[in-house]
Amino acid sequence: MRFGLIGDIVGRPGRDMIKQILKDIKTKHKIDTIVANSENISNGFGATNKNINEMFNSGIDIFTGGNHSFDKKDDYKIVLQNKCVLRPANYPDEIDGRGVGIYDTHNKPFAVINLMGMFAMPVCDNPFRKALDIVDQLKKKDINTIIVDFHAETTSEKRVMMSLLKNKVSAIFGTHTHIGTDDLIVEDGTMYVTDVGLTGCRDNIIGMDSKTPIEKLLTGVGGHFKVQNNCKKIFQMVVVDINEQGIATTAKKFKIYDDNDIVITDFKAEI
């Protein structure tokens, strides 16, 4: 099975890059399933049902979320009814949505787990204990192909998750910081990258207009972050091959710029 893993898609520029690029790259590279973080697709904060459908029609199969999953108050209940849309599993069980999805490709089952970190995030259940519990439950169902979107602020938390789940899951891809990291590895059958990086504007501050973040850090007075629609853009994705035993075998990182420049990076094999 071949999976494409996309980090935070930020606003209209991110959606535009998905619409322009994803179907062709999905076909060209024979990708079976695309998993993407959707918590920023609608003006940078949350996801509307309209934008989820737009991205589904553009080639994304499964959507994960994070701390902005509930930002669109008029839409999030509808969005989270979709079995292909997840929110972090360590949110309380009584709130809307699900944090684990079981799907299939080529009649082979696989699971996607969405988790959220602890530092600078809403107060939720411990993601590390939650991860172990969920993986154990999936293994009892003979589901060995398991992909984890860990939506977290700190690199240390993400590395802890890798060390904890290494050889237990097929792939762990970090999201949330919007900044891509250069540490794609396959170790003990698990693919890992600390953060895939955003798809959207690349010439400002984490996909947002630079004015408000600069003013906030200069004065201490905050404001509403806005997506700048007129910008230079980038598409970022990791492609991973996973065998029938749920073991990751190869991986590549794709960076595609709006000037058609393409950078493809191979994984580092850690044996």
**What does the pLDDT look like over 167-210, one tens digit per residue?**
999 999 999 999 999 999 999 999 999 999 999 999 998 888 88
Active site residue 29: no
pLDDT of 127 > 70? The answer is yes
pLDDT (0 to 100) of residue 241:
97
pLDDT (0 to 100) of residue 271:
62
Residue range 2-201+231-270, CATH number: 3.60.21.10
Which residue in 148, 71, 84 sits closest to 116, CA to CA?
A: 148
CB 86 within 8 A of CB 120: no
Tokens of 208: 């947002």
Scanning the structure block, which residue is given the tokens 């960076």?
Answer: 255
* Eight-class DSSP state of 135: H
* Eight-class DSSP state of 95: S
- Cβ burial of 266 (10 Å; 0-12, 13-18, 19+) is exposed
Dihedral of CA 204/181/44/120: which sign?
A: negative
Q: Is the pTM of this model over 0.85?
A: yes
Which residue in 29, 83, 101 sits closest to 59, CA to CA?
A: 29
pLDDT of 265 > 80? The answer is yes
Mean pLDDT of the chain: 95
Q: Say how far apart CA 146 and CA 139 lie, in whole Å.
A: 9
Tokens of 53: 């459908």
Q: Say how far apart CA 156 and CA 161 lie, in whole Å.
A: 9
Amino acid at 73: K
Tokens of 60: 């994304």
Which residue in 140, 132, 136, 142 sits closest to 108, CA to CA?
A: 142
CB 85 within 8 A of CB 91: no
Tokens of 30: 């024979």
Helix (H) or strand (E) holding 191: strand 190-193
Which among 68, 151, 176, 178 is annotated as catalytic? 68
Q: Say how far apart CA 36 and CA 157 lie, in whole Å.
A: 20
Range scoring the smallest mean pLDDT among 43-47, 107-111, 221-225: 221-225
**What does the pLDDT look like over 233-250, one tens digit per residue?**
999 999 999 999 999 999
